[in-house]
């Protein structure tokens, strides 16, 4: 796991965008994993800027979303398919139908989850997955206690996650759905490159447990310690609890330029 401590979101966004642009140049039909929430917004803005400058095209790429709320109407602004359309997809040149997400309105939830797993596999798997992390250490909506071998399924959201996400629902927790569909931890682990972005002191404990704590279902993101290619980009506030922060900085500063993210 590579830990990269940057001054703020703009610097992290530049590094992540560099990696995605490089991937699409060597593999124009790459499969991306897209996350929603606050963490990746600067990355998406940077990718849009580079697309507008003619530096990158998504025309042959495909993408899969990490998760989706269950039961939100198709036109709800916080439905993740609509969120990602606003934040990225509608601002670049993805082909129609190239971006898929779990079907939170499916009548048969288990069948929809199985179909989503099959769609990811049929696309050849995810080349680069963007991730955020919750204050309780969840990635996607794999809440504490999630099986480390889990696949796409329905999950009940913790009260903490609903409190955290209430800001997107007029600060009203009662408007936040209680259930979601989410890629499982094993699904996420199958991606070839995982890129996690986190900012703010409120993420510091989760980052510490993910990077330096034991692998445990109580901190689901800690399973990333078992992945061969993980890049974690944090600001100093999110890095505040890291015991080896100086070592991580030295490692990144002395990294060979040719190595990339």
Q: Which residues are catalytic?
A: 67, 136, 138, 143
The pair of three-digit structure tokens given for residue 29, joined into one six-digit string: 């039909």
Q: How far apart are CA 208 and CA 205, in angstroms?
A: 5
Question: How close are the terminal C-alpha atoms of the chain, in Å?
Answer: 11
Q: How far apart are CA 37 and CA 48, in angstroms?
A: 17
Strand 153-156 and strand 193-198: the pairing is unpaired
Nearest to 143 by CA among 196, 37, 220, 204: 220
DSSP summary character for residue 127: S
Q: How far apart are CA 63 and CA 100, in angstroms?
A: 6
In contact, 6 and 38? CB cutoff 8 Å: no
């Amino acid at each position: 796991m590579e830990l990269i401590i940057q001054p703020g979101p703009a610097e992290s966004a530049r590094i992540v965008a560099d990696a995605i642009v490089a991937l699409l140049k060597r593999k124009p039909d790459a499969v991306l994993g897209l996350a929603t929430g606050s963490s990746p917004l600067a990355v998406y803005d940077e990718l849009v800027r580079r697309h507008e400058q003619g530096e990158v095209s998504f025309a042959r790429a495909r993408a899969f979303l990490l998760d989706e709320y269950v039961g939100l109407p198709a036109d709800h602004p916080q439905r993740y398919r609509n969120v990602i359309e606003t934040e990225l997809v509608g601002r670049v040149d993805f082909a129609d139908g190239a971006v898929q997400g779990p079907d939170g309105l499916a009548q048969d939830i288990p069948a929809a989850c199985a179909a989503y797993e099959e769609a990811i596999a049929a696309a050849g798997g995810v080349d680069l997955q963007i991730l955020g992390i919750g204050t309780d250490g969840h990635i996607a909506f794999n809440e504490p206690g999630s099986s480390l071998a889990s696949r796409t399924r329905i999950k009940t959201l913790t009260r903490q996650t609903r409190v955290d996400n209430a800001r997107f629902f007029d600060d009203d927790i009662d408007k936040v759905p209680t259930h979601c569909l989410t890629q499982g931890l094993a699904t996420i682990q199958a991606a070839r490159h995982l890129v996690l972005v986190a900012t703010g002191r409120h993420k510091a404990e989760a980052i510490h447990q993910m990077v330096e704590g034991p692998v445990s279902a109580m901190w689901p993101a800690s399973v990333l310690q078992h992945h061969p290619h993980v890049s974690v980009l944090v600001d100093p506030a999110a890095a505040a609890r890291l015991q080896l922060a100086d070592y991580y900085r030295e490692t990144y500063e002395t990294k060979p330029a040719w190595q990339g993210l």
